[in-house]
Structure 1
């Protein structure tokens, strides 16, 4: 649970500039249904981790935001663009003292078997860290 209003959390999730701040990503555009936004994820020291492409699917103000992307690139020298994308969903609900945020990433069963387990493990670990970043950003 985030100790912030739903509108505050919504801005952090659905505004590309705010999303980039807490997610620690550089993005090249704004979030709008049907658009593709590209970016670069880096460590806090500025070391490049990977390039990201986000296909924005659904925006339902202050309730639901979703996009598709290629999960954790195990080898940054490989082009994963031909692989299926996973779906990332942010669901916001009012809660006592703030906002309940649920993040679901699905579709790993379509990722090639050779990298599925590692992609799932890294993204699962990453979402835990990102929830902390989001919480600090909005509170």
Structure 2
């Protein structure tokens, strides 16, 4: 496997499996911490979903994903085009990458792992940039879900 083909991040979340699962798979909750306007939307396997990104600096971007698998309280995955942020570029002809979230019990909480794979299929002209930007992005998103769940506990 090529080194630049996958990004893997993990975070130990001090929350219940149910809380982590809902933060991932309840579309509105996911949108809250991920930075996407998903109010009123739901995630279902095989379904494509589009919504406005609310993350500062990327509000012009529409998030597009195709939900792949939802294995209750264990795995949630979707396909998307990494760092598909340039206006006027049609990314739909590209092969998407697969984003997989898995949950494991790890005292005192839940180990959340995210793996984004398939960068080898991203056009070479933008592969490195997409990999670099998403590597940073996943660092930030792992921190975002941790903060989100921490606030949910205190609420």
TM-score, shorter chain, exceeding 0.5: yes
- 1:138 Cα deviation after fit: 1.1
Contact 2:58 2:85 (8 Å CA) reproduced: no
TM-score (norm 2): 0.84
Alpha-carbon displacement from aligned partner over 1:96-126 (angstroms, at most 9, x marks no partner):
1110000000010000000000001001100
**Structure 1 runs of 4+ off > 4 angstroms?**
none
- 1:92 Cα deviation after fit: 0.2
Counterpart check, 1:25 vs 2:36: yes
Equivalenced residue count is 138
Q: Secondary structure at the match of 1:26?
A: coil
Contact 1:74 1:115 (8 Å CA) reproduced: no
RMSD of equivalent CA atoms: 1.4
Where do 1:50-65 residues align within 5 Å? 50-65=61-76
| Higher relative contact order (Cα pairs below 8 Å, separated by 6+ residues) | 2
Q: Which residue of structure 1 aligns with residue 112 of structure 2? A: 101
Contact 1:74 1:119 (8 Å CA) reproduced: no
Gaps of 5+ in 1: none
Where do 1:51-130 residues align within 5 Å? 51-130=62-141
Q: Secondary structure at the match of 1:73?
A: coil
Gaps of 5+ in 2: 1-11, 151-155
Q: Secondary structure at the match of 1:48?
A: coil
TM-score (norm 1): 0.93
Q: Secondary structure at the match of 2:22?
A: helix
- Give the 3 Å change call, closer, same or farther, for CA 47–63 of structure 1 in structure 2: closer
Q: Which residue of structure 1 aligns with residue 54 of structure 2? A: 42
